[in-house]
Structure 1
């Protein structure tokens, strides 16, 4: 071991033995000195913490549609993702969009979010809500019995036939009315347009009681799968799908390829063009950022793990229906992607830091000046503590001058010794070191003067 290594080790030992203890004592004294300011700072910090609100105060409530539908499946998938992240998500089933709209408009309702299919609602129907984008695709399926129907306008064909269009206020009923009115004005609501729940409509179609069923739902929906697997039911082709999309931009074209339902029996016998809409995820404007990020990441995770029948669904979540304004969180998601911080921290913490990164950057930029200020406070406290010791020394000197007996002088010497011990234990900043040694010398000098006075009194 070299000389410099030994010197360094000796320095570390000396520091640990003497200076570290002084440092701790000094900071303890400084903490007591600045205690009133510390209380104010702590109160401000708590106020900021309450303002930032790192955790949602109440469980998030998501409104979904009928049981067994796409929105019901999505709701379950979102709930599972939230549970994995340690966040509560309550699911509330609603009979239709009318019920959802009523809940949204009710100030006492606890609904925070809802699925709304594009074209079935407008921003005016959902005041106070913003979009997190489209999270799924919902084709418009028209199933029928009998011989193959080949017409340009299926809605014109079924204008006078018994067709189930969905329960009142549902996405299916609203979209059917819109599409029927497009080329057949004034016929959007007819007595032969039966507003039945999906399950009942399918039962009546398979029993031959009605001619057709119009349903807006996802490919994986149990109701849709039930009809696709029935060889007695046929799926209507929409030859004018491109024209419909041009007239109604919130719609898009999807295709069921020939043989995609049953490749052995070649069902369908030819490509089937369908109209499709997207499922919007709408949330309250003030919904907690952590919850919004969780919804977006859940939508991405669900889409990646799903076996999407239609290629158009592979891009979700996506901002397609631009009638609904994006939330600021969703805007950051779609413009900048998922921040890298989400790969290293728990979701709630990553979302919190991402939401307050501007504040953190400002604090970082102010960090050096603040640090310098803290060092200044430290130096001020060091000087102040020394000055307090000087003042105590002066008072003891005054008592020593006034003392007339050996006992009084011995009492002063005892307190001077205590003062010397306190001074020796006080951590002193470098530029205050000369004052420290001046104080120690002054204390020792005063003790010597007191001892001389005691010796003189004993002589007499």
Structure 2
């Protein structure tokens, strides 16, 4: 059996050095110690206080401000089944895709919407208002996001064809509920034709559903309706009813010129039903535009979303409009929103065009608070070191005054016996005192500069003392 003879040299076992893991508190203490040694305790505390104060202000600003876009919106629309109510539902569906919840409030029509928007006690953000509804109302608190559609006025009547609106004088006219756009416009048009209350003409304002039934039952002679306050199903029913005629505004051009907020509209032959040829001829109508009105202070992001929805809903071609005709930036009685101006010029803001709505809202809120504070913090962080350096330099500069005094006395009393020796002793005391000054490493240049100048003054005094054959005191550094 073979025996292995191992060498007798000692074997050393080398273990890897264990890595010391510092706790966050230890890391903080080590970092603060290094910063204090380099820049001084005062500067570190000043900079830390500024940064901490800035962070606290940012957090407070984020908590208090409402820069982020709201996720809820309230629209005042119109009666159930009306064009306004159906439009509000479509807006609700579109905004829901972006995470915005839309609450729809039924109303009596355009004028009711305007009153709600003007009443600060009402929780309403936007609403549909017809042109010409403002009258003498104070609308400084409202903004228009633009016109979104035409709203034609339709006059249905029984019996023989009537070419002029003045032909309805002395008859029973249903002009819509008080507070609706139909009611106000009908009164204005009838007045232009010499028809006023009390001249034998009966003006009624029954509920829309009953009004249609009243016309069908021959209880009224004519019915004025608009889509803001009347169900589209009822309008369709009237158009398909025999012996019920749709009034042709042969003077549409004149109405549009006499009344600034009215537009001439043409309902083409067969536009409502090609198979039944309804209407049988091109029919001239008139009507105002519908404006999307918001309260002042509506968030720009919500304004953009509403206009995006308006483009999707109203941008398609229809009976009375071309593709892309609406929404349009057109100012009427209510001033235009600056955000609407921006949107029509360049579209949605970059932030909301690039990021999802909820994320863009958070970023917008953060930027609205952080950017102003950062602009304030940057100068503060620059000024703090300068002030701290000035404080240290002020403490050092006072010794330069002592050096100046010593030099002046040395020149003025050069011939006085023992004066140079006295000044050298004073300078030695100054040097000893300066040597005990402690400054942060970052400001060591100031101290070493002073000590260099002390040595310069000493060398001059020693030279003067040597030339005068005076005993020179020993250098404290020796």
TM-score bracket, normalised by the shorter chain, equals 0.5 to 0.7
Q: 2: distance between equivalents of 1:83 and 1:206?
A: 40
The answer to whether the 8 Å contact 1:78/1:295 transfers is yes
What's the secondary structure of 1:311's corresponding residue?
A: coil
235, 241, 246: which one pairs with 1:235? 246
1:179 aligns with 2:189: yes
Cα pair distance change 1:102/1:244, threshold 3 Å: closer
Tell me how far 1:224 sits from its aligned partner.
2.3
The Cα offsets for residues 337-364 of structure 1, whole Å up to 9 and x where unpaired, read as 3345544212355578789999999999
Tell me how far 1:125 sits from its aligned partner.
5.2
The Cα offsets for residues 100-124 of structure 1, whole Å up to 9 and x where unpaired, read as 4543444322122221111123472
Partner in structure 1 of residue 319 of structure 2: 309
248, 251, 259: which one pairs with 2:262? 251
Q: 2: distance between equivalents of 1:273 and 1:197?
A: 26
Q: 2: distance between equivalents of 1:137 and 1:278?
A: 4
Partner in structure 1 of residue 74 of structure 2: 61
Calculate the aligned-residue CA RMSD, in Å.
4.3
Partner in structure 2 of residue 138 of structure 1: 151
Q: 2: distance between equivalents of 1:89 and 1:190?
A: 47
Partner in structure 2 of residue 160 of structure 1: 170
Tell me how far 1:131 sits from its aligned partner.
1.0
1:319 aligns with 2:329: yes
The Cα offsets for residues 186-215 of structure 1, whole Å up to 9 and x where unpaired, read as 459976121122222112222222222111
Q: 1: distance between equivalents of 2:184 and 2:203?
A: 12
Which one is further off, 326-335 or 220-229? 220-229
Q: 2: distance between equivalents of 1:65 and 1:88?
A: 19
1:281 aligns with 2:297: no
Which one is further off, 64-73 or 204-213? 204-213
What's the secondary structure of 1:286's corresponding residue?
A: coil
Tell me how far 1:127 sits from its aligned partner.
4.9
Q: 2: distance between equivalents of 1:203 and 1:163?
A: 13
Tell me how far 1:275 sits from its aligned partner.
0.3
Q: 1: distance between equivalents of 2:311 and 2:113?
A: 25
Cα pair distance change 1:346/1:188, threshold 3 Å: farther
Cα pair distance change 1:185/1:291, threshold 3 Å: same
The answer to whether the 8 Å contact 2:67/2:364 transfers is no
Partner in structure 2 of residue 110 of structure 1: 123
Task: Count matched residues.
Answer: 363
Q: 1: distance between equivalents of 2:196 and 2:155?
A: 21
Superposed counterparts of 1:31-50, under 5 Å: 34-49=47-62
Cα pair distance change 1:275/1:64, threshold 3 Å: same
The Cα offsets for residues 346-398 of structure 1, whole Å up to 9 and x where unpaired, read as 2355578789999999999x79x959968x97xx9xxxxxxxxxxxxxxxxxx
Higher helix proportion (structure 1 or 2): 1
What's the secondary structure of 1:315's corresponding residue?
A: coil
Cα pair distance change 1:58/1:335, threshold 3 Å: closer
Superposed counterparts of 1:312-351, under 5 Å: 312=322, 314-339=324-349, 341-350=351-360
Q: 1: distance between equivalents of 2:194 and 2:35?
A: 83
Superposed counterparts of 1:401-420, under 5 Å: none
Partner in structure 2 of residue 4 of structure 1: none
87, 90, 95: which one pairs with 1:74? 87
The answer to whether the 8 Å contact 1:104/1:126 transfers is no
Greater CA radius of gyration, 1 or 2? Answer: 2
